[in-house]
Structure 1
């Protein structure tokens, strides 16, 4: 293969006048982290609510949780992003649709919301599994103490369940970071998008995507390390990471 390697390309000025090609990639990395952070907040909050609903004795809440998870989990993320970005503004009232189209940084908000709801279905299932894995005696003890259902979940069940599911939640957070790459299809220039732009400007495809790969690996390594410390800190004796 006749390919001209040029690892010094990262320190050359980019055509957009925003610094070097390395600056382009780092700007994309920052946008990736911002998108993933907002998406994870949405996923964690929404997924927690839906996960709790799936464990309630109410049939209505259970069916809503079931329908929510099946809808967002079984539809490809790419399709969901297209629905949020291209379809939703067209089916809303004209004023609302026009507002969405003119929204500053629309690809960012769309990606964060789309990835957030997509991942929330997975968080809901993880939390449901964590709650159902707890001994029945804990819920009965909360009832015996006179706690309401909300208080029982808040003070007894959820603190235990979240500690138990921290390892799978770590995996879901890593998936959230990686899933932001799909947002390139709606015009978000996150890390993958900037790597592609660098490749198109410089024709150094291997260097661009090698650098992007290394940055993804570094971010994921930091997340995994931080979550391991968190798991040990909140570990409960007798439960997975507990000693």
Structure 2
């Protein structure tokens, strides 16, 4: 069967602005990585804020944060993409001038922020209550206590869960094809139609997704090892936080 595979298809000229299907695929890979990175830049800080709000003993903030989590986590991602692409520009006309790339980043970023918020909240709850109390006793404000005491430890606890989210966001970036972003999935669909060599095309695209996810996994593992505090609570709660995913 391997003898019938035609890997030279990647050297063929597809026309347009690309000199080969290989160049087109590498460009599509760049779009995939760009969507994933930009979406995570939206999701991580936003999810952290929502997770912190969920942990505070304030009913209004608890209600807002819980509503945010339930809204974005329970609506299918592909539907959220179409809402941003089809509905939001009608409700907010100024969004009609926003590039499709920004819309997909908004959709994927907000969706992932709800998932990260749950992880952040779990990480905060896993900390001994005395750490926050000690910070407050030293004269720190609540904001300073979270910034200097709570969140540095909470992030260490949830690093394994954040690794999963970062790997997932690479896979979820494939929904960008729905709004004509030229990422890997769109490349695979178009290239296999043009060449008729779907096996080779999809195997190559699968390999690039695997490389991307594995690279994220290794990077996060390195960060985890560098930031781990011996004997800290993070070593004992990895399974607990991972189970909340």
TM-score for both structures, normalised by structure 1 = 0.93
Structure 2: give runs of 5+ residues left out of the alignment. Answer: 237-245
Between 1:69-78 and 1:11-20, the stretch displaced more is 11-20
Q: Distance in 2 between matches of 1:134 and 1:208?
A: 47
Matched residue, 1:8: 8
CA contact (8 A) 1:11 1:20 kept: yes
Matched residue, 2:183: 190
Q: Distance in 2 between matches of 1:26 and 1:63?
A: 44
Q: Distance in 2 between matches of 1:233 and 1:34?
A: 26
CA contact (8 A) 2:36 2:170 kept: yes
Q: Distance in 2 between matches of 1:37 and 1:26?
A: 16
Matches within 5 A, 1:64-143: 64-92=64-92, 97=93, 99-103=94-98, 106-143=99-136
**Over 2 Å off, 4+ runs:** 99-103, 238-242
1:151-200 Cα shifts (integer Å, max 9, x gaps): 11000000000011001001000111110101111111101111111111
Matched residue, 1:24: 24
CA contact (8 A) 2:153 2:234 kept: no
1:68-100 Cα shifts (integer Å, max 9, x gaps): 0000000000110011010011122xxxx2x43
Offset at 1:101?
2.5
Offset at 1:222?
1.1
Q: Distance in 2 between matches of 1:51 and 1:100?
A: 28
Q: Once superposed, what is the RMSD of the aligned Cα atoms? A: 1.6
Give secondary structure in 1 for the equivalent of 2:200: helix
Q: Distance in 1 between matches of 2:65 and 2:44?
A: 15
1:112-165 Cα shifts (integer Å, max 9, x gaps): 110000000000000000000000110110111011100110000000000110
Q: Distance in 1 between matches of 2:212 and 2:74?
A: 28
Matched residue, 2:220: 227
Higher helix proportion, which one? 2
1:165 pairs with one of 150, 158, 162: 158
Offset at 1:16?
2.1
TM-score for both structures, normalised by structure 2 = 0.92
Q: Distance in 1 between matches of 2:59 and 2:172?
A: 33
Offset at 1:241?
4.5
1:54 aligns with 2:47: no
Matched residue, 2:63: 63
